[in-house]
Structure 1
Amino acid sequence: MTTTRPAVASDAELDHWRTVAERVAATLGEDALERDRRGDDPTVELDLLRESGLVDLLHPAEFGGGGGHWQSALLAVRILSRTDASVAQVLAYHYINSSNIGFAAPEADRADWYRRTTADHWLWGDSVNPVDPDLLLTPADGGFRLNGRKRFSTGASSGDVVLAAARIEGGDRDGETVFVVLDHDRAGIHYLGDWDALGQRLSASGSVDFVDVAVDPADILGSLGDGPFQNLITPGIQLAFGNIYLGIAEGALEQGLEIARARKNSWFLSGADLYRNDPFVQRVVGEFSSGIAAVEALADRAARRFDETVSLGDAVTAEQRGHIEIEIAKLKVVSTDLGVEVANRIFEITGSSSAKASVGLDLFWRNVRTHTLHDPVDYKKLEVGAWELNGELQPLSLYT
């Protein structure tokens, strides 16, 4: 039996996880650029997430977790994105992946999944990418064999377990699509290490091959159903994206301000003694700071409303699920625009010397430009417009 808890996070809870995340972000920021250039899988960095408690933040306290809310988890993702958006992405996907215990697992199985997850502080990677052909599960030896390839498997190569979506072919469950949870070193799983994007280089998002992987019935977490509650997973991950983009914008502005404040001269036509006193520099900073404040407010509101919706459990209606999807689509639109704009134009207040590779100011743009291509933001604009004009909601999917 689970204990009753408030539907939304308290100020004390948010303050606690803010402090934890800021401490972790400061550590990650010490060598983020150097690690990005190496492009290694983030194994050491994930140990930092485990030790801090961030990995277990969302899991129920009665099963050894942090007992936190989505608003706290997404605030942590945002804060980490200020210094290392790659690791923040892995953490965000872990929250989404492991939350399928609550969204997809049969109620009788959830306690066991939570206890196993928290006992060893599992980091959940994924191999779910819906635009790839389905992985196939075929009945064999009282269980199944899993075969296929998935690209963009974030966190899979460096996490403790891999959440994979696969379609059963044959047997009593023919045609059913299920989530399976497999330990990282399961025989037949091959991590290809082919992630070579210009940004999010440490997100461990390479392809995974599954070759005759033995899957026990106990490895099946649950089915991918069409109920509104189970399909809250999509607005959840889009909400995480919005916080990643917002955090990148915050981090870019923070580093830009440090550079601008440290400059000892000014543009010769400005009439100002220092760059920080140039009215054009101040104008850009004012524009960015105001935009960030507005998107922060929307992100916090959306996260709080998401917690309220999740707290309804199976009582969530299609209309309620649709409303939170629209709220989060709005965040996706403005956070994308803000993140790309700030990371691109921050150089306007820092000058040509800030374009040196050693400064690393490009890291923010490379990260946000890469991840904002995950799914077309124009379709999120259409979702919002169709709702506002005609009251139309999009069909349930892993993207809408």
Structure 2
Amino acid sequence: MSTITLDARSLPRTPWHGHAEESELGHWSAVARTVAEALAVDALARDKANAEPFSEVGLLRDSGLLNLLVPTEFGGGGGHWESAFAAVRIIATADGSIAQLLAYHYANQASIAFYADPANQGAWFARSAADGWLWGDSVNPVDPDLHLVAEGDGYRLNGLKRFSTGSSVGDVIVINAAVTGGKNDGKVLAFVLERTREGLELLGDWDHLGQRLSASGSVKYHDVFVAPQDVLGEVTAEPIATLLTPGLQLAFGNFYLGIAEGALSAGRAILLERKNSWFLSSADTYAQDPVFQRILGELKARTAAVGALAEKLNRRFDTEVGRAGDLDEAQRGDIAVAIAELKVVATEAALEVANRIYEVTGSSSTKNDVGLDLFWRNVRTHSLHDPVDYKKIEVGTYFLHGTNAPLSLYT
């Protein structure tokens, strides 16, 4: 009998398949709720302190959430993307910054599956799981490209990247850069460096209106040596590899949704505690006044509609990822547009909820120690990541002509 040897390159590019069962979703959602409850206790105080969120990362690590997507055979939780997106949404109800950290971590860690040769994926996943790595990134495409120059069997990296989420607290940072010289000249490589690598400078310059604990400062590289073993693989236009960006956009939709739900919950609690009522009202309390009930009902209904769309797409994303190397351009393009639709409505719903919640909580809720503004500041800050109007154009163009936006780290 002849022996058949499989070429590792012909194996699936992604290790995920099937869908999350109710028991899995229930488990990880319960874990996320426990973390969210802990974060909610001092969310405003931590936001004001604006310190690097090492303790918050420790909370995520201890909970097991960082390894949710790592296959069980490599020491991870063996979960699906649907469970990961649900966890991000739940964490965002308490702390949008930490939800962003977790969302980017999942995408960055998943670079293993989208870029690395299947023969090498197991070792990367196992190392990440064993050491509980939080994955940051340094791939902001609006900055000039980094300079990655071939040197011997490795490379030298120089340059600056702003908006490097998770970089200042991540155990490792995933970076993309085009190669100059050598056998890989012109190729864009994805590679992974530890935060403490010699020549890697964390500038600590993230000090923005919201998402203050997302560890999104700039990173500067001074002749950093990149060894062959640091390289995940080439960044290509292969449909399954390019699915990583829609996945991150889907995570955005989920944490915008979570922020809206958090604002609604906080507003409800404040309204129920309000005494008396408006002097023109016939109700005994503000919470019994139809005016305030109507506002909350409108905001709650819109948020629920966005939630239904998110849940549908979270489950569908597992279907598309499960196609692995068989995912084609049409399938990739169709889900990217569907996710863009969520990005549009999640952005607008979260901004509206975080803004209008004050209409039911009253002027006393604008006191700085109440902290209701944290929800608006967080969603207002991150929703500017890429212009939502371009997402509307992306959706409209596809609806009219069936054409997709050019591939990029935003589409």
TM-score range, shorter chain: over 0.9
Correspondence for 2:178: 167
CA distance in 2, matches of 1:246, 1:170: 45
Choose from 48, 51, 57 the match for 1:46.
57
Q: Do 2:139 and 2:175's aligned partners in 1 also have CA atoms closer than 8 Å?
A: yes
| Corresponding residue for residue 226 of structure 1 | 237
Kindly provide the amino acid, as one letter, of the partner of residue 404 in structure 2: L
Cα deviation, 1:291-345, whole Å, max 9, x if unaligned, reads 1111110000011111100000010000000111011011000000000000001
> Match for residue 395 of structure 2?
384
Residue equivalent to 2:5: none
Determine the structure 2 residue equivalent to 1:301.
Answer: 312
Matches for 1:90-101 after TM superposition, within 5 Å: 90-101=101-112
> Which of the residues 186, 192, 196 maps onto 2:203?
192
The superposition leaves residues 240-293 of structure 1 with CA deviations (integer Å, 9 ceiling, x where unpaired) of 000010000000000000000001111101111100011110001100111111
Report the AA paired with residue 24 of structure 2.
E
Q: Give deviations 1:56-85, integer Å, cap 9, x for gaps.
A: 000111100111111100100000000101
Contact 2:85 2:314 in 1 (8 A): yes
Q: Is the 8 A contact 2:16 2:321 kept in 1?
A: no
Q: Deviations over 1:334-369 (max 9, x none)?
A: 000000000001000000000000000000000000
Tell me by how many angstroms 1:142 deviates.
Answer: 3.0
Amino acid at match of 1:45: E
Instruction: Give the deviation of 1:141 after TM superposition.
Output: 4.1
**Are positions 1:30 and 2:41 aligned together?**
yes
Amino acid at match of 2:50: G
Match for residue 57 of structure 1 among 46, 51, 68: 68
Separation in structure 2 between the aligned mates of residue 182 and residue 387 of structure 1, nearest angstrom: 38
Distance in 1, matches of 2:252 and 2:239, equals: 21
- Listed one character per residue, the Cα deviations across residues 348-394 of structure 1 (whole Å, up to 9, x for unaligned) are 00000000000000000000000000000011111111111111112
> Secondary structure, in 3 states, of the residue corresponding to 2:185?
coil
**In structure 2, distance between residues paired with 1:106 and 1:142:** 18
Pairwise CA distance, 1:234: 1.0
Q: How many residues align?
A: 400
* Matched residue type, 1:284: I
1:249 is aligned to: 260
Residue in structure 2 matched with residue 135 of structure 1 by the alignment? 146
Task: State the shift of 1:4 in Å.
Answer: 8.5
Q: Hey, what's the Cα distance between the residues in 2 that align with 1:283 and 1:4?
A: 47
Q: How does 1:219-368 map to 2 (within 5 A)?
A: 219-368=230-379
Which 5+ residue runs of structure 2 have no aligned equivalent? 1-10
Give me the whole-angstrom Cα distance separating, in 2, the residues matched to 1:369 and 1:295: 17
SS of the residue 1:178 aligns to = strand
Aligned residue for 1:217? 228
- Report if aligned partners of 2:211, 2:381 keep a CA contact under 8 Å in 1: yes
Kindly report the root-mean-square deviation, in angstroms, between the aligned alpha carbons of the 2 structures: 1.3
**3-state DSSP of counterpart to 2:182:** coil
**In structure 2, C-alpha distance between the alignment counterparts of 1:4 and 1:194, rounded to whole Å:** 37
Task: Give the corresponding residue for 1:70.
Answer: 81
Q: Which residue number in structure 2 is paired with residue 145 of structure 1?
A: 156
Residue equivalent to 1:10: 21
2:98 is aligned to: 87
* Structure 1 gaps, min length 5: none
Mapped pair 1:115 → 2:126: yes
Counterparts of 1:287 and 1:335 in 2: how far apart (Å)?
15
Name the CA distance, whole Å, in 1 between partners of 2:152 and 2:396. 51
**Cα distance in 1, alignment partners of residues 183 and 330 from structure 2:** 33
- TM-score using structure 1 length: 0.98
SS at match of 1:205: coil
Residues of 2 paired with 1:218 and 1:238: CA distance?
A: 29
CA distance in 2, matches of 1:362, 1:274: 24
**Structure 1 residue ranges (4+ consecutive) displaced by more than 3 angstroms after TM superposition:** 1-6
